């Protein structure tokens, strides 16, 4: 039974390298045995390392090679030589692909290089080996149960680290394609995991940067259904339902959720008060606008009037959106027989250059002709 030790989550002790591949005996009648004895007895670390490298090169399939590679990878990790640590790990994994710990050390080595493809490779190797290790049946011998429990616990933490590595690389990457590859691998491995939930925001942003809008929307809908969507995801989903004219009640519910979310959300660290106020007002304004427009499309003018009135002061600086909000408000108030309010909104809309300007001017004249006393 191989016992591994985990110091703290995400920080693994080199002590875990010891005794995974044991040397039962050294056959001094063979050349490999003589070299093995020599390196075991060597106390000078540089010379010992050189002898281990020589052994691996000369005897790649000898019985003692896994033990030597294990010691050699530990040396490379300790001397902060990730390339050599990975090379030794690859050789050891070729001999023992179920060694979760060596795969973990390879993963940590390539993390330092920020190599997305290699992170994916060794994350997969570490996870597969760890899950196999965690699934091992409990031994019948009582004196082996405690070691088995430690192995299972360690394996689960290795698997968790393999997910964390994908998440961290996805968040730190500035390449949308890399973020997408890392995030999608994480979702496939553990759809409900903590790091899968946390990677959704950068993954959503990466989809949009890459022009993969269908994938961005699908991700946003999954997150929204689970109550884990941020405001950008909720805005995307709400706009989709608004444009598609499907499931309007979902759009109404998501609009309300956006307002609730942004109202309660504290200012993020590192963001100025002015920038946060602008961002907050924009998002809440968009939510009220989409909700109001949907009510307007449904001819539910009292609700449309309420939502659009809430939106108007928040989209004041939005030259593209403000005229539309004014026009929709004017029409809604006309339908509600609030002629003066309708005229006021049409007048304000007519004063702005937009696709709604001409129609607002025409409708304002029509209201003045229909009602007396309109200012």
CATH class given for the domain over 1-135+143-169: mainly alpha
- Whole-prediction pTM value? 0.81
Neighbours of 153 (CB within 10 A): 13
How much is the pLDDT for 112?
86
**For residue 218, what are its two tokens?**
């699908």
Distances (CA, A) of 108 to 153, 171, 362: 19, 16, 68
Domain ranges of the chain: 1-135+143-169, 173-226, 230-316, 319-375
**For residue 29, what are its two tokens?**
């009648």
CA-to-CA distance for 175 and 311, rounded, in angstroms? 36
Query: CA dihedral in degrees (241, 245, 249, 255; nearest 10)?
Result: 40
Distances (CA, A) of 185 to 98, 116, 306: 20, 11, 44
For residue 114, the number of C-alpha atoms closer than 13 Å in the C-beta half-sphere is 9
Neighbours of 140 (CB within 10 A): 7
Residue with tokens 């003692």: 64
How much is the pLDDT for 322?
97
How much is the pLDDT for 19?
55
Residue with tokens 């390392």: 49
Nearest to 11 by CA among 87, 89, 111: 111
How much is the pLDDT for 63?
87
Neighbours of 277 (CB within 10 A): 12
CA-to-CA distance for 281 and 269, rounded, in angstroms? 18
CA-to-CA distance for 256 and 337, rounded, in angstroms? 27
CA-to-CA distance for 61 and 76, rounded, in angstroms? 21
Residue numbers in the chain where pLDDT is lower than 50: 1-18
How much is the pLDDT for 135?
95
| CB-based burial, 170-181: b 16+ in 10 Å, e otherwise | bbebeebebbbb
């Amino acid at each position: 039974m191989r016992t591994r030790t985990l110091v703290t989550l995400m920080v693994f002790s080199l002590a875990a390298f010891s005794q995974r591949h044991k040397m039962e005996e050294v056959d001094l009648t063979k050349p490999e045995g003589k070299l093995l004895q020599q390196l075991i007895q060597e106390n000078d670390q540089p010379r010992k390392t050189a002898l281990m490298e020589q052994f691996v090169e000369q005897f790649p399939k000898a019985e003692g090679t896994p033990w030597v590679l294990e010691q050699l990878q530990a040396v490379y990790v300790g001397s902060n030589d990730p390339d050599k640590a990975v090379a030794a790990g690859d050789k050891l994994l070729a001999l023992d692909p179920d060694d979760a710990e060596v795969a973990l050390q390879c993963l940590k080595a390539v993390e330092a290089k920020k190599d997305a493809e290699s992170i994916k490779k060794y994350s997969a190797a570490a996870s597969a080996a760890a899950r196999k290790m965690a699934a091992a049946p409990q031994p019948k011998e009582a004196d082996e149960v405690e070691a088995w429990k430690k192995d299972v616990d360690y394996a689960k933490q290795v698997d968790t680290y393999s997910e964390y590595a994908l998440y961290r690389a996805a968040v730190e990457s500035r390449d949308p394609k890399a973020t997408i590859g890392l995030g999608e691998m994480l979702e496939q491995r553990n759809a409900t995991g903590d790091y899968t939930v946390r990677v959704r925001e950068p993954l959503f942003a990466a989809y949009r940067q890459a022009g993969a809008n269908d994938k961005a929307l699908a991700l946003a809908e999954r997150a929204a259904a689970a109550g884990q969507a941020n405001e950008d995801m909720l805005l995307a989903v709400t706009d989709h339902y608004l444009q598609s004219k499907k499931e309007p009640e979902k759009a109404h519910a998501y609009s309300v959720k956006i307002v609730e979310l942004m109202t309660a959300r504290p200012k993020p660290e590192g963001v100025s008060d002015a920038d946060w106020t602008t961002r907050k007002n924009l998002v809440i304004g968009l939510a009220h606008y989409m909700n109001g427009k949907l009510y307007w499309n449904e001819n539910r003018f009292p609700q449309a009037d309420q939502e659009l009135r809430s939106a108007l002061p928040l989209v004041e600086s939005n030259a593209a959106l403000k005229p539309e909000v004014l026009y929709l408000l004017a029409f809604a108030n006309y339908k509600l027989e609030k002629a003066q309010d309708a005229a006021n909104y049409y007048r304000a809309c007519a004063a702005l250059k937009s696709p709604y300007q001409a129609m607002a001017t025409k409708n304002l004249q029509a209201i003045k002709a229909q009602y007396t006393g309109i200012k």
